[in-house]
Structure 1
């Protein structure tokens, strides 16, 4: 029951982290390490935001660019007490593009206010099971980062190189399989990276230090009735320490965040037959108030998701859809963004190799 329900639970959360605070994308999940035996897992979520506002009566257009979030993993049971997992994801990113006639763009040249940031991470981890249902785990994360930003109204543009650096994760879990119970707490370290910025078509250069943030993930689940599981998570991300700036940009700071983010998810899953299970989940991130970056013009969100899993002999095929209602926001430059939302959908295949 447990593994089938968890597939449905995972996909009911499709795209949830992808519109969380700051530049959060994947949520840095590591639940693969708790799968039984040897498995290969492929997951893909697609996020389609509808995010628009106005400044001085001029419309921003839909600044939210649709994008996909892949997640690949391999888990192997090395012994009865030792497991290994290798996970690829894209933990952080941004995709924003304003209309060419927006005041902070450049209507004369049809240049757009825009930002693109992308990270890729490969995490290798080990889990050791100890007595009483407890286990500890940890590993190393190799992460690449790159970014480009255009602010035509300030006469500024930049494209970075790709920086590659290493961080780590550590965690502990408790499980009681007979009732489907598990609680896990995972700490993901910050990763300091230095981006070489090629600014204004090569007329300026600058090495900019950034720190993709440390975070804590608390995940929990338990059976509450026959074939029924309650699950949830709390994720804290230290976004207040993130800053991308350059002395060659008129306002110095390109992207920063005044507040950390805390994201909550809660849901219930039910097995309807030996082959099919479903899940319903809700997500929430509180609005911080104040102003936000023009490159991330929303503040908090509420979401609801539905997911299902169909089990075959050696595979579980999970699917999900999620509606995300984004919080209203006012940007640093005074633009107002209201009544915005997004749709996200995902599919996951988990294949048992033994």
Structure 2
């Protein structure tokens, strides 16, 4: 089953979510670290999403001749790169290096409907956050079945957020530029395997990573100086990954994964933004707890699938996945709340130690709940309703044992 055992690290490479739970993107798998011997791989993937909804304040908009209340697709297509390098200098010692893009969002929304006096931009939202992670791993094989491993992760984080429109009230024209920051985190875990049965299970904990981000904030292009502090604490969340695989026949293998991410403790609240909210709360106490970005619940996601080996060169996979979401109300930042997915993949060995793999995944998103007739929006760019939304992810991987 050596072909199937290698392929199981590939079936998880497709970025699994699109803000279905927080800003989750990559799933932070360390599957390549468990490959036999020395190994390297690179993965390219592309996300094509169709995410839209209906804007708020439709009665007021109808009075000025607006008949189209659709946001249009406001999630930009996104490319992903993941890479890994694993060395086995001694039978019991292994080292690994993994690059991925664990968290991020790319939203660009401009609502410009026709009115009685022609097209007018009523509101717009641009939200871009990006992170990159380099993980170093050290593993030690205690015996033929048990391995322990630990390592450090260096993470960069940056972003940009802009909102425009009367629906944002006193935040109309607000912009926050989050300068790139680097910070350290750690991870550790256990791996159990019985190679002759293609059985392997691993449990990995990743710590939260604390960033101190310099943020330039402005309204209508005028810098905000309500407080002297211009650094914002942003803590990317802790997570736990459980991965499992086992051979169920000579040509078939069952694989599964489960992931938890602590999004309920994740908050982005720049200092000047917080000062604006504190000032406005004197006249509208109901917004005192308003946060720029906050998630209500932790994320749970999982996947289960089958890999089938046709011969020593060809393997295919089929899997089903799900994500429970983060419980937020519908907005342009959180238009969906979880998903169900279906994935297909195929791998071809053109040489005994080298393979090429292709995969695709379809995601059907659950609708986020909506709030009606609210005088003060509880989230930035709240939506009146959410459409039936979905996405496709396409990926390719090259791997080589050496």
Q: TM-score, normalised by structure 1?
A: 0.93
User: After alignment, is 14-23 or 82-91 more displaced?
Assistant: 14-23
Tell me if the contact between 1:12 and 1:305 (Cα under 8 Å) persists in the aligned partners.
no
Structure 2 residue aligned with 1:147: 159
- Please state how far the C-alpha of 1:3 moved relative to its aligned partner: 4.4
* Deviation per residue, 1:285-338 (Å, 9 max, x gap): 125656145312110100000001101223111110010001111454343212
Is there any run of 5+ residues in structure 1 with no aligned partner, and where? none
Spell out the pairing of 1:199-218 with structure 2 (5 A cutoff): 199-200=217-218, 201=221, 203-204=223-224, 206-218=230-242
Larger deviation: 312-321 or 207-216? 312-321
Which of 134, 150, 164 aligns to 1:138? It is 150
C-alpha displacement of 1:165? 0.4
Moved more, 327-336 or 86-95: 327-336
1:65 matched to 2:76? The reply is: yes
1:335 aligned residue (384, 388, 396) = 384
The question of 1:324 aligning with 2:363 is answered yes
Task: Indicate conservation of the 8 Å contact 1:8/1:318, yes or no.
Answer: no
SS at structure 1 position matched to 2:10: helix
| SS in structure 1 of the partner of residue 272 of structure 2 | coil
Alignment check: 8 A CA contact 1:271 1:277 kept? yes
Give distance in 2, aligned partners of 1:247 and 1:258. Answer: 21
Is 1:113 matched up with 2:131? no
Conservation of the 8 A alpha-carbon contact between 1:5 and 1:278: no
1:248 aligns with 2:272: yes
Higher mean alpha-carbon deviation, 258-267 vs 198-207, is at 198-207
1:123 aligns with 2:135: yes
Change beyond 3 A, Cα 1:13–1:267: farther
Match for 1:264 among 302, 320, 336? Answer: 302
Q: Deviations over 1:60-93 (max 9, x none)?
A: 1101111011101111102000010111111100
**Pairing of 1:1-354 with structure 2 (within 5 A):** 1-4=1-4, 6-7=6-7, 10-11=10-11, 14-56=14-56, 57=58, 58-101=69-112, 112-153=124-165, 154=171, 155-200=173-218, 201=221, 203-204=223-224, 206-249=230-273, 250-251=276-277, 253-287=291-325, 289=327, 291-313=329-351, 314-330=353-369, 332=379, 333-353=382-402
Separation (CA, whole Å) in 1 of partners of 2:187 and 2:160: 28
Q: How many residues get paired?
A: 349
**Per the alignment, do residues 47 and 230 of structure 1 end up closer, same or farther by CA in structure 2, a change over 3 Å counting?**
same
Which moved further from structure 2: 310-319 or 245-254?
245-254
Query: 1:202-250 CA deviation, whole Å, 9 max, x = no partner?
Result: 6126311110000000000000011100001000000001100134335
SS of residue matched to 1:319: strand
RMSD over aligned CA atoms reads 2.0
* SS of equivalent to 2:196: helix
Instruction: Encode CA deviations 1:23-82: one digit per residue, 9 max, x unaligned.
Output: 011111101111111111101111111000012342211011110111011111020000
Q: 1:73 & 1:23 partners in 2: Cα distance?
A: 22
Gaps of at least 5 residues in structure 2 are 59-68, 114-118, 166-170, 278-289, 371-378
Partner of 2:64: none
Displacement of 1:345 = 0.7
Higher relative contact order (CA 8 A, sep 6+): 1
Q: Distance in 1 between matches of 2:12 and 2:212?
A: 36
Q: Are the counterparts in 2 of residues 48 and 343 from structure 1 also a CA contact under 8 Å? A: yes
Say which SS state the counterpart of residue 292 (structure 2) adopts: strand
Give me the TM-score of the superposition, normalised by structure 2: 0.82
Greater Rg by CA: 2
